[in-house]
Structure 1
């Protein structure tokens, strides 16, 4: 007479008040311990875990427009005048480690009644925000009203988004592994090697609207309206992980 399959189910909830590393947040966990006996099987047992995690990341890039415009009675005069200012802008960028690959320049010459006007726009991509602030200060001090420095537009690079998604997935797997280990200890079992890891769900959203409504989450006075806002993005991952399960009593056999 064959033994019927036996199953043991266990559930565990996230511990209240548990602190997570960095910006990670555990959403929930479901654990099942399954014992299967049947023809050709020697009682393979598994612990199946579903875990979630969230990871937040601020924008890592900023795009800024720098504009210079001048009007003169001749094309040569206006070209020379604007070119000097343009060269100063590019030199300030180079001195702060901004390469040609991170800058683009557009020129527009037109006639305004009796005068020629030349407008130049320089678009710069920054990955170091301190250098960006330094460049802004230098240009505003040296070129004064002849230069217009726009408000930086912050965004996430493709590399940053990819790394954030990976961190969320790895954190979800790590959370699941830790919980599975605790359940095994509780049941007097020993956690074996992973059998299957499956990412079941991924989500991501931008938090700039929530942060603006919060006014900084009560951490202090709200920044001035003209102060550049750095958006953050949150990526979440839900994974299902299966581990082999073995008795502690048989561990050393």
Structure 2
């Protein structure tokens, strides 16, 4: 969606509030502390509503690697599975993946006259190139004795937080640019902001991620994992003070 803005300019004389300075606060709204001019007049203002959209691909992926074995004794089945688990974890470490990003689960049970052990390693990647390298190594070395699942891509909490901030900042930048153009049109100089309020935020998963990018004329490869993207939008309302260009500086 193209950036938009809504502008309302007020050139109203009055009493009780002068030009304002900004006091930084935490949260979505920043209000200005009022200052009274010597003449006691209210400063002129321009009010702008701006919007912006920012898109971001997933920054994390988890891969589930599973192994299993059936043997006549507990020691045999445990040893068989443990050797492959150790190789999987070693391959993960050799590619610079921390142990905290790999979790292991095991389950031992009995099937008729044999013992069955199933185990899985779930690895979280932030580097997708390393993820491809690890999956290739495991498939080449362990072949059919290992099952490497399809990567599951997602957005981390940090990524979503950055996305929301970028959308809000872009909306404010857009509003400031339009307010500056309006002030020039009115023969004024844009002053400091008096009020910044984020009025609406939205997030959605891009539809192209669901339909495989249909309509683009490209054949979809069923085994090629797609990296989902999320778009965040923000709508803000900003008020700026106005100064007359003709006014002499003191």
Report what 2:29 is aligned to.
Answer: none
Q: Distance in 2 between matches of 1:214 and 1:185?
A: 47
Segment of structure 1 superposing worse, 48-57 or 115-124: 115-124
* Contact kept? 1:211, 1:217, Cα under 8 Å: no
Q: Distance in 2 between matches of 1:58 and 1:223?
A: 19
- List runs of 5+ in structure 2 lacking aligned partners: 17-39
* Contact kept? 2:15, 2:42, Cα under 8 Å: no
1:38-49 residue pairs with structure 2 within 5 A?
Answer: 38-39=14-15, 41-49=40-48
Report what 2:92 is aligned to.
Answer: 93
Q: Distance in 2 between matches of 1:52 and 1:213?
A: 27
Asked if 1:31 corresponds to 2:7, the answer is yes
Which of the pair has the greater relative contact order for Cα pairs under 8 Å at 6+ separation? Answer: 2
Asked if 1:243 corresponds to 2:240, the answer is yes
What is the DSSP-based 3-state SS (H/G/I as helix, E as strand, rest coil) of the residue aligned with 1:250? coil
TM superposition shift of 1:76: 1.0
Of residues 211, 214, 229, the one that matches 1:213 is 211
TM-score by length of 1: 0.85
1:80-125: CA deviation from partner (whole Å, max 9, x where unpaired): 1111111000000011111111111111111222222211111111
CA RMSD, aligned part only?
1.6
TM-score by length of 2: 0.86
* Contact kept? 2:3, 2:174, Cα under 8 Å: no
1:166-205: CA deviation from partner (whole Å, max 9, x where unpaired): 0000000000001111111122111001111000001111
* Contact kept? 1:26, 1:172, Cα under 8 Å: no
Q: Distance in 1 between matches of 2:175 and 2:14?
A: 28
Report what 1:231 is aligned to.
Answer: 228
What is the DSSP-based 3-state SS (H/G/I as helix, E as strand, rest coil) of the residue aligned with 1:54? strand
Q: Distance in 2 between matches of 1:191 and 1:217?
A: 46
TM superposition shift of 1:214: 6.2
1:134-213 residue pairs with structure 2 within 5 A?
Answer: 134-207=133-206, 209-213=207-211
* Contact kept? 2:9, 2:45, Cα under 8 Å: yes
TM superposition shift of 1:215: 2.1
Q: Distance in 2 between matches of 1:125 and 1:179?
A: 43
Q: Distance in 1 between matches of 2:93 and 2:209?
A: 35
* Contact kept? 2:209, 2:226, Cα under 8 Å: no
TM superposition shift of 1:75: 1.2
